[in-house]
């Protein structure tokens, strides 16, 4: 079939943008190679590039004749980009260090978050001069628009996340998974959106992109401006260095203002219960790793011995399990009639004690309508078996009946084999899940998937509240499919993929046995998995 010119043009535009983005990512990554030679870790050299990119882009916007906003007051003239390029050698190094210190002294603003505690780690004056004058200084970073630059910066973060040994990967959720979660949650203009463990800001950016695509043209200007003030969208991150990457990432995607209030707060999200600021949509992937040095004391008051403890009377159970505490925090953070989508490891679904208490509350007081079982090989933390829990918060029922009537489970794990390099997860791999989820339609529209010949269930089936609560310890770690590739001696899977599957299964088994031992009163630590 002959392709029409209109179709060709519509296909060429995104292809050109993708090529431009890839070109910029490659350029930025080459700059990182320069900094890596100076002995920096991945997250450190991405931070250093963030500082310089910010100053260069503010300078471009300030001198853009078509820009209506006033950028002259964002960075004092004494410390702007022009002040850097006018200096050389040791004078440039001294002035740059002073610039970072001054810009970091603006608390509770986006610029203050980006430069908070910033230090110049480019210890060679000649290298700093090369970056400022020859590399970043000779590129126009804002000429092709915010979205392209934002995509390029996020591409840089994605490449940096592959360096798991320096801890960068733990802050990055696969964009394909984020997009699928956002697509089924369908952010609305009326939503208030947050991520209490936002990492580099991927969920917040994807939610904002969805609103831009589907609703921005119908939103009044006041509603659009609310996304720049922290009223409509905000995040929290524990690590200062990661928070600055999130603030920069959001700013490059058109969310917030550099001299406006910071949309990213820095601190432990579990330390305090939400006080008057709940969200109608919570999207999150809390950090992996089961044990925490902090105990959060819930209503049961069963205190474990730890160095630090938080009192959270809005929690049902006391535990040091970080994921269980984040789940309880998100249950509290979600507004009544709000919804949440949270990535959590398997132990949250089967662990007894505190885990059972939390699951019973989730099923009774919330509508846990969907559970997506994820495959291994898609996260930078090795051996992780995770799931996405989708639930809605409902007002208390006068009749005492549970809000969950049935939970639909999609098994995207069995028979799926991914690796970060040879077979990475793409958004297309999740198309079937999004289709059977039927976003925007009532739960009654969903249909179970069965094999026409055998009558066996496919990847999508429902379980009633009674079935779930009758399971031992309300175990939600449910599977019913068999992996034909691993059972078939003639499988065409490459040997390295099969080997990786075995390693991940062993790692996951260790985590699960450790959870069981801990629930029985033991104290077991499972070593972190090494990079693939």
User: 135 and 272: one domain?
Assistant: no
Distance from CA of residue 403 to its chain's centroid?
28
Provide the token pair at 326: 């984040």
509 and 362 in a common domain: yes
Give the per-residue pLDDT at 101.
Answer: 93
Strands (E), 435-503: 460-464
Least confident among 45-49, 99-103, 234-238, 435-439: 45-49
Average pLDDT taken over every residue of the chain: 82
Q: Between 245 and 34, where is the model more confident?
A: 245
Reported confidence tier of residue 527, pLDDT bands at 50, 70, 90: very low
Percent of the chain surpassing pLDDT 70 = 77
C-alpha closest to that of 83 among 56, 111, 123, 113: 56
Residue 138 has a pLDDT of: 81
pLDDT value of position 162: 64
Q: Are residues 142 and 272 in the same domain?
A: no
Contacting residues for 403 by C-beta, under 8 A, at least 6 apart: 364, 365, 366, 367, 392, 394, 397
Smallest Cα–Cα separation from 184: which of 430, 458, 462, 498?
Answer: 430
Number of helices (H), then strands (E), belonging to the chain: the values are 18, 12
Using pLDDT thresholds of 50, 70 and 90, give the confidence band for residue 7. Answer: very low
Least confident of 82-86, 116-120, 420-424, 494-498: 494-498
pLDDT at 263 over 70: yes
Which pLDDT score is estimated for 390? 98
> Which of 153, 344, 181, 165 is closest to 244 using CA atoms?
153
Q: What is the CATH number of the domain that holds 460?
A: 3.40.50.150
Cα pseudo-dihedral 41, 252, 98, 37, rounded to 10: 30
Domain-located, residue 162:
no
Is 272 in the same domain as 141?
no
> Which pLDDT value is given to residue 530?
38
| Residue whose pair of structure tokens reads 């592959």 in the numeric block | 162
**419: in domain:** yes
Token code pair at residue 423: 């077979």
Q: What is the pLDDT of residue 230?
A: 84
pLDDT value at residue 171: 59
Residue 74's domain is classified under what CATH number?
Answer: 1.20.1260.30
Of 132, 148, 164, the one marking the end of a domain is: 148
Both tokens of 348, joined, read 């949250």
Residue 123 lies in a domain: yes
Confidence of residue 3 (pLDDT cuts 50, 70, 90): very low
Last residue of a domain, one of 118, 148, 178: 148
Q: Is residue 219 part of a domain?
A: no
- Total tally of structural domains belonging to the chain: 2
Residue-level pLDDT at 507 = 64
What string of DSSP letters covers 361-421? HHHHHEEEEEEEEPPSSSSSSTT--EEEEEEEE-PPPTT---S-SEEEEEE-STT----SS
pLDDT at 192: 96
- Asked if residue 405 has pLDDT above 90, the reply is yes
- Residue of 21 and 215 predicted with greater confidence: 215
**Which one, of 370, 304, 293, 358, lies nearest residue 332 by Cα?**
358
- Candidate from 192-206, 277-291, 293-307 with smallest mean pLDDT: 293-307
pLDDT band at residue 511 using 50, 70 and 90 as cut-offs: low
**Domain of 83, in residue numbers:** 16-148
What mean pLDDT is predicted for residues 309-321?
88
Q: For the residues 20-33, what does the mean pLDDT come to?
A: 73
What per-residue confidence (pLDDT) applies to 2?
Answer: 37
Distance of CA 489 to the CA centre of its chain: 38
DSSP 43-58: HHHHHHHHHHHHHHHH
Going by pLDDT thresholds of 50, 70 and 90, the confidence category of residue 531 is very low
User: Is the CB of residue 18 less than 8 Å from the CB of residue 151?
Assistant: no
User: Would you place residue 228 in the very low, low, confident or very high pLDDT band (cuts 50, 70, 90)?
Assistant: confident
Q: Report the pLDDT averaged over residues 80-101.
A: 94
For residue 248, tell me if it sits in a domain: no
pLDDT of residue 449: 82
Does residue 155 sit within a domain? no
Q: Does residue 84 carry a pLDDT above 60?
A: yes
Higher pLDDT, 361 or 137: 361
Q: How far apart are the first and last CA of the chain?
A: 43
Q: Could you identify the residue written with the tokens 């209109």?
A: 6
**Of 109, 125, 148, which marks where a domain is finished?**
148
CA 245 to CA 243: how far, in whole Å? 5
Q: What is the reported pLDDT for 69?
A: 64
Cα separation, 36 vs 121, in Å, equals 11
- pLDDT band of 404, cuts 50, 70, 90: very high
- Over residues 222-248, mean pLDDT: 89
Same-domain status, 381 and 515: yes
Rounded distance between C-alpha atoms, residue 345 and residue 329, angstroms:
16
Is residue 171 one of the residues assigned to a domain?
no
């Amino acid at each position: 079939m002959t392709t029409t010119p209109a179709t060709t043009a519509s296909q060429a535009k995104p292809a050109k943008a993708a090529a431009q983005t890839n070109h910029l990512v490659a350029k930025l990554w080459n700059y990182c190679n320069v900094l890596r030679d100076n002995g920096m870790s991945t997250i450190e050299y991405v931070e250093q590039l963030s500082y310089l990119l910010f100053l260069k882009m503010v300078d471009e916007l300030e001198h853009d004749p078509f820009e209506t906003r006033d950028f002259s007051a964002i960075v004092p003239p004494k410390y702007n980009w022009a002040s850097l390029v006018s200096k050389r050698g040791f004078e440039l190094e001294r002035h740059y260090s002073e610039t970072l210190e001054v810009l970091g002294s603006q608390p509770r603003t986006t610029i203050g978050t980006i430069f908070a505690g910033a230090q110049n780690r480019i210890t060679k004056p000649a290298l700093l001069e090369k970056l400022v004058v020859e590399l970043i200084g000779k590129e126009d970073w804002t000429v092709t628009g915010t979205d392209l630059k934002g995509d390029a910066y996020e591409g840089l973060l994605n490449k940096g996340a592959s360096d798991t040994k320096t801890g960068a990967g733990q802050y990055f959720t696969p964009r394909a998974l984020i997009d699928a979660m956002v697509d089924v949650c369908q952010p609305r203009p009326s939503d208030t959106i947050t991520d209490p463990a936002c990492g580099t800001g991927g969920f917040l950016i994807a939610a904002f992109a969805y609103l831009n695509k589907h609703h921005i043209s119908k939103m009044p200007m006041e509603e659009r401006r609310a996304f720049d003030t922290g009223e409509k969208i905000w995040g929290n991150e524990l690590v200062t260095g990661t928070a600055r990457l999130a603030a920069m990432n959001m700013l490059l995607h058109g969310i917030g203002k550099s001299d406006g209030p910071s949309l990213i707060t820095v601190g432990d999200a579990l330390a305090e219960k939400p006080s008057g600021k709940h969200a109608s949509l919570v999207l999150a992937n809390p950090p992996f790793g089961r044990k925490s040095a902090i105990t959060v004391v819930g209503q049961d008051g069963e205190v474990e011995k730890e160095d630090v403890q938080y009192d959270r009377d809005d929690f049902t159970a006391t535990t040091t399990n970080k994921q269980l505490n984040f789940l309880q925090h998100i249950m509290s953070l979600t507004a009544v009639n709000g919804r949440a989508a949270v990535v959590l490891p398997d132990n949250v679904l089967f662990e007894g004690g505190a885990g059972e208490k939390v699951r019973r509350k989730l099923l009774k007081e919330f509508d846990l309508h969907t559970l997506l079982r994820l495959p291994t090989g898609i996260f930078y933390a090795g051996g992780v078996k995770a799931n996405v829990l989708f639930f809605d918060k409902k007002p208390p029922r006068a009749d005492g009946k549970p809000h969950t009537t049935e939970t639909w489970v999609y098994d995207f794990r069995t028979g799926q084999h991914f690796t970060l390099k040879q077979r990475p997860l793409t958004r297309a791999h999740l198309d079937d899940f999004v289709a059977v989820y039927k976003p925007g339609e009532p739960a009654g529209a969903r249909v179970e998937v069965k094999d026409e010949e055998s009558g066996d269930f496919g990847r999508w089936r429902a379980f009633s509240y009674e079935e779930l609560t009758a399971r031992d310890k309300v175990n939600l770690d449910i599977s019913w499919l068999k992996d034909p590739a691993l059972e078939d001696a003639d499988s065409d899977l490459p040997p390295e993929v099969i080997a990786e599957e075995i390693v991940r299964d062993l790692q996951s088994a260790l985590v699960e046995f450790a959870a069981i031992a801990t629930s029985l009163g033991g104290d077991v630590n499972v070593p972190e998995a090494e990079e693939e």
